[in-house]
Structure 1
Amino acid sequence: MTATASAQDYGQTATLKIWDNTTAPHSNGITTPETEKEPNRVRNTSEATLYIFPADKAKATGQAVVICPGGGYGMLAMDHEGYEMAKWFAANGITGAVLKYRMPNHHPEVPLEDAVQALRIMAGLEAGATGYTADKVGIVGFSAGGHLAAMASTIGSFKPAFSVLFYPVITAVQGKRHQGSFINLLSEQRTPEQDAAYSLESRVTADTPPAILLLSDDDKTVPPVNSTLYYNALKAHGIEASMHIYPSGGHGWGIRDSFRYKAQWQDAVLDWLRRINE
């Protein structure tokens, strides 16, 4: 992994290239250039990169988070589910590392190995993030990025200390799933066995870390049952969990001011992170 000059300046203190399709354990098969036809909507990613926003030293909690933006495993919403979120965590004493992960392109192992390597880097187990590592490294994910965060928490080879899941994709069960995410992750011709393997409510074990889930009751994109399935699985294994379902807001609100319950979710997340850090 190498430090690089960022092609995109988000206000981060450090930009770290993790690897690309040539140097990573697996390739996603994408050979065409990354695109950004809309600002902060990045597609076709074939290089994994970390954008690091260090914690305010006066408030430092000893925690860091790897942040996985959403985008249906087809693109990344790098602003309101990425660097803007990282700035908020950093201002509250938690180092935020935004992960620009490679799109799966029907290779589900690819984003997972990016997330696991990012966690290892921020935990100081891999070189490259000296001065930014933390004793407790969690993962934050939004929508399909929430599925990636939950993958790391359930089937990852190195698990986060905790997870913060915003309106996550969890299950591939028909009638409950976000179809587009699973088409991009696995393919439209995937097997029932593949669907089962990546329905993460069935992959929770006693080693899965604590989680807080935040979502809206009126989410028409990713059904709220995704979160309740994961919460119930955590509780069935005796794992600490919290869930906040807001009456309205739909899907994809992230840290946007337009979300009516922004102050409430921020208070809930900070309170929960303080409690699990005691």
Structure 2
Amino acid sequence: MNRFSLFVTALAFALPTAVTAQGIPVEPIATPPQTGAIALGTGGVPGMPAESWFTLASRPTVRNVATATLLPVLPDKAKATGAAVIIAPGGGFLMESMEAEAMKPARWLADHGIAAFVLKYRLDATPASLDAFKQAALARFAAAAMAGAKGGAVIPAPAPALADAQAAVKLVRARAGEWGVDPRRVAYLGFSAGAIMGVDLVKTAAPGTTPDLFAAIYPSMAPTTVAAGAPPLFVAMANDDELFGKQGYGLPDSWRRAGRPVELHVYEHGGHGFGFDGKAGTTSTGWSTALLTWLGAHGWLTK
């Protein structure tokens, strides 16, 4: 695999996008308004450069996050079901795809009466310049691609990010009354790195932090330890996933072997990082419909 191909793999892991030989445009943008975002109070990241926003293939993305926040996206009260979903976007713990894997699914969930909460978690530091950042991403994702090709686990969740996920679950439950949420119906939806973090969240099982449902979208498929009280699991991925497609199905099989509920959707094509919309022209475009059906089966669509 040459240097360009490795970088393409990196970018594919970061965001849902069709990669071509022309590369992917990366452009700096101003920090968008994040009205209503709540600081989680989990601390900072020493030596972190200033938070930086950019578009990757025209999709808003953030890096160098030193302060974790949770942004509520609430449904109209007339259609609210009382259920909630915390959303953790992907990006290899170097960046976060804040539209395709966060705000878009949040608005969709709210349209279906489910309170959504977008988690912007702390990241590993990257160089301030975009050019240097590309090189850092190249190294990170090259290692991830190689590990995934060998069937191994890829990039465990850093401790600060995991602590942010734990704090997010606690906060939603603590303020459930304020947001019209049932504290016994708090799900977690993670994409890629966010899904890897969700596996660690469930496995760690710190008091008050285990979600009631867990949806993992193109996660690492490596097997894991599953506790007797693990929440029901939903997995969606593509068979041709560049990072995790050769790992087998160890993650959902771990749930099955532990006697816990699990649902697995494997799409023939879609690659890694097909995002909320799925990859055009493939059946991966139907994954969100499958997720909604699964949420409904567990009572997330009714009061």
Tell me the equivalent position of 2:147: none
How far apart are residue 263 of structure 1 and its match?
Answer: 5.2
Maintained 8 Å contact 2:191/2:216? yes
Tell me the equivalent position of 1:255: 276
> Which has the bigger relative contact order, CA under 8 A and spacing at least 6?
2
CA distance in 1 between partners of 2:278 and 2:78 (Å): 26
How far apart are residue 255 of structure 1 and its match?
Answer: 1.4
**Could you give the per-residue CA deviations for residues 229-249 of structure 1, whole angstroms, max 9, x where no partner exists?**
110000111100100001101
- The answer as to 2:187 corresponding to 1:165 is no
Q: Count residues in correspondence.
A: 233
CA distance in 1 between partners of 2:255 and 2:214 (Å): 12
Tell me the equivalent position of 2:226: 204
- The answer as to 2:30 corresponding to 1:9 is no
Provide the secondary structure at the position in 1 that maps to 2:178.
Answer: coil
Tell me the equivalent position of 1:111: 161
CA distance in 2 between partners of 1:256 and 1:274 (Å): 20
Tell me the equivalent position of 1:189: none
Q: Choose the corresponding residue for 1:120, options 158, 163, 170.
A: 170
Structure 1 regions of 5+ residues with no counterpart?
A: 1-6, 23-27, 172-200
Alignment of 1:72-151 (within 5 A): 72-104=92-124, 108-124=158-174, 130-135=178-183, 136-151=185-200
Tell me the equivalent position of 1:271: 293
Amino acid at match of 2:286: Q
Q: Choose the corresponding residue for 1:225, options 231, 240, 247.
A: 247
Maintained 8 Å contact 1:139/1:160? yes
Amino acid at match of 1:8: P
User: Identity of counterpart residues, as a percentage?
Assistant: 29
**Could you give the per-residue CA deviations for residues 67-93 of structure 1, whole angstroms, max 9, x where no partner exists?**
000001111010100101100111111
CA distance in 2 between partners of 1:254 and 1:221 (Å): 15
Q: State which drifts further: 155-164 or 103-112.
A: 103-112
CA distance in 1 between partners of 2:47 and 2:205 (Å): 23
CA distance in 2 between partners of 1:30 and 1:207 (Å): 39
CA distance in 1 between partners of 2:42 and 2:80 (Å): 32
Tell me the equivalent position of 2:52: 35
Amino acid at match of 2:193: A
Structure 2 length normalisation: TM-score? 0.70
Provide the secondary structure at the position in 1 that maps to 2:259.
Answer: coil
Maintained 8 Å contact 1:60/1:94? yes
Maintained 8 Å contact 1:121/1:133? no
How far apart are residue 57 of structure 1 and its match?
Answer: 3.1
Q: For the structure 1 residues 224 and 244, does the alpha-carbon distance in structure 2 shift closer, same or farther, using more than 3 Å as the test?
A: farther
CA distance in 1 between partners of 2:180 and 2:163 (Å): 21
Structure 1 segments (4+ residues) deviating >6 Å:
none
CA distance in 1 between partners of 2:66 and 2:180 (Å): 25
Provide the secondary structure at the position in 1 that maps to 2:194.
Answer: helix
Provide the secondary structure at the position in 2 that maps to 1:88.
Answer: helix
Tell me the equivalent position of 1:191: none
**Could you give the per-residue CA deviations for residues 173-197 of structure 1, whole angstroms, max 9, x where no partner exists?**
xxxxxxxxxxxxxxxxxxxxxxxxx
Structure 2 regions of 5+ residues with no counterpart?
A: 1-30, 126-155
Maintained 8 Å contact 2:161/2:197? yes
